[in-house]
Homo-oligomer: A and B are copies of this chain.
Amino acid sequence: MESESEREIVLGKNVHTTCLAVTEPEANDEFTGDKEAYMAGVLARYRKTLVERTKHHLGYPYNLDFDYGALGQLQHFSINNLGDPFIESNYGVHSRQFEVGVLDWFARLWEIEKDEYWGYITNCGTEGNLHGILVGREVFPDGILYASKESHYSVFKAARMYRMECVKVDTLMSGEIDCADFKVKLLAHKDKPAIINVNIGTTVKGAVDDLDLVIQTLEKSGFKHDRFYIHCDGALFGLMMPFVKRAPKVSFKKPIGSVSVSGHKFVGCPMPCGVQITRMEHINALSRNVEYLASRDATIMGSRNGHAPLFLWYTLNRKGYKGFQKEVQKCLRNAHYLKDRLRGVGISAMLNELSSTVVFERPQDEEFVRKWQLACQGNIAHVVVMPSVNIDKLDDFLNELVEHRSTWYEGGKAQAPCIAADIGTENCCCSLHK
C-alpha cells in the first residue's frame, strides 16, 4: 500500500512536493488492520520529522515551546465561535467565555476600557491586518493607505483586495518608517484622509516604527485626528514591547484605531491565531451597514476556531504579565549574545535596540539555510530569538555556521560579501568596513 508519490507543480518556479496520497480503504481493511497500521506508520514517521524540524528551527518568530497536554481532552469537540465574540449564536459548542477573557487581557495591555473596545481572536496576523485596514477603509472610504516598504506583504495584499490607493513610504537603515519621506507623501495627498499601517516589529529586521513620531508627522502635516486612522501591526513584537524597558508604548490612549498581534508567535500555539482589538465606535459604524453584515458579524471569517482562545487563555493564565516579562528579557539577552558572538567571529550582523531579531549575512549554502530554517531576503538572513531558542541551540548554530563558513570562504581566501547597504556600515564586517 505504497502511496507516497512525487508530483510537480509549476508556479513561478519548479517545486517538487512529496505528497501523501489518500487511498480508498479496501473491503477487508477493517479485518486485516492493514490500513490502520499503514496510517500509524505514516504518522509516527511524520512525528519524528516534526521533532527534528522543531529542534533546528531558528528563522521564524514562533515560540515552539509549549505544553497544552491539559487541553488534549477538548480535541474531541467541534468548537466554533461563529461570528461575533460578544454575541452568542445558537451553536452551543463554543468558547466565547474564554475568548472574551483573552480579549480583556489584551485590552488592558493596550489601555482601552472594556466597554470601549471590540475585538476577536483571528486565524493569524494577516487576518488582523486585513481587518484593521478594512475598518480604516470603512471609516475613510476614500482614504489612502500609507505603509513603509518593509511592511508585511499582507498589507499590500489588503490594498489590492480592497481596491485602495496605496503609497509606499521609505525606510531607514534600521527598517523603521522614514518619517521625513512620510511627510513628503502626506503633503502630496493632503486632500484625502490617511490610513496608516504602523509596524510594531517589521518582518525582516524586527524594526519598530516610531508611533509617536508618526502621529506627530500627521499632525504637523495638517491631518487632524478625524482625518487619519492608524492600524498597528504588532504581529510578533506587539506582545513583547510592553515588557521592554524604555520601549515606546502602543496604547489606545493615543489616536490609534486598531492593534493586531499573533497568538502563535510569542505566546506559542499549535496552529496560527491572532488577536485583533479595535474601538467599539468603529465597529458600531460598520454594524449600521446592515447589507455588509447580514448578521451581526463584523469579523472577516464567519466560522472561527474555538480552540485557539483556549490555548491563549491557558498560557496567559499560567504566565501572566510577569511570566512574559521574564521571557522577553531572556529573548533580548540571548539575541544580544548571538549578535555579539557573530560579530566576534567577524560576521556582519545587526540587532535593533528593541528587537530579538538578529540580521546577518546570508549563508552561502541553501542546505544550511534549510536545516536551520532561516528566513532570507536578498543578501541577508535572520534568526528570531524566541523563548524556545536557548543559548545551547544558538551555540550549536554558531559553531556549525563558523565551520561551514570557513569552507564557503576557503579559510579566508575568498571574501564574505559587503552587506552595508542592508544593515549599515557600522554593522558590516566585510573587508572594506571591518
Contact = CB atoms under 8 A, between A and B. Distances in A.
A319 interface: yes
A95 B47 CA distance: 11
B70 A93 contact: no
B91 A373 contact: yes
B25 A320 contact: yes
Nearest to A30: B318
Contacts of A82: 60
A291 B156 contact: yes
Contact of A317 (B25, B53, B60, B76): B25
Contact of A163 (B18, B162, B376): B162
Interface string A242-275: 0000000000000000000010100011111000
24 contacts: A15-B86, A15-B88, A17-B86, A21-B104, A25-B318, A39-B317, A43-B73, A46-B97, A50-B74, A54-B93, A57-B92, A57-B93, A66-B78, A75-B270, A80-B272, A126-B300, A126-B303, A127-B301, A153-B294, A157-B297, A163-B163, A271-B305, A271-B306, A272-B303
Contact of A72 (B18, B72, B104): B72
A192 interface: no
A194 B161 CA distance: 19
B160 A161 contact: no
What is the oligomeric copy number? 2
Interface in A9-50: 9, 11-13, 15, 17-25, 35, 39-40, 43, 46-47, 50
Q: Is the interface of A mostly helix, strand, loop or mixed?
A: mixed
- Contact residue range for chain A? 35 or more
Contacts of A98: 20, 46
Interface string A286-328: 0101011111111011111111100001101111111100000
A160 to B, nearest CB: 5
A123 interface: yes
Chain B CB within 10 Å — which of A78, A264, A300, A319 has the most? A78
Contact of A76 (B24, B67, B75, B163): B67
A7 B114 contact: yes
A79 B49 CA distance: 12
A43 B70 contact: yes
Contacts of A156: 291-292, 294
A306 B86 CA distance: 28
Contacts of A87: 9, 11-13, 15
A370 interface: yes
A296 B13 CA distance: 9
A305 B50 contact: no
A426 B130 CA distance: 47
Nearest to A12: B296
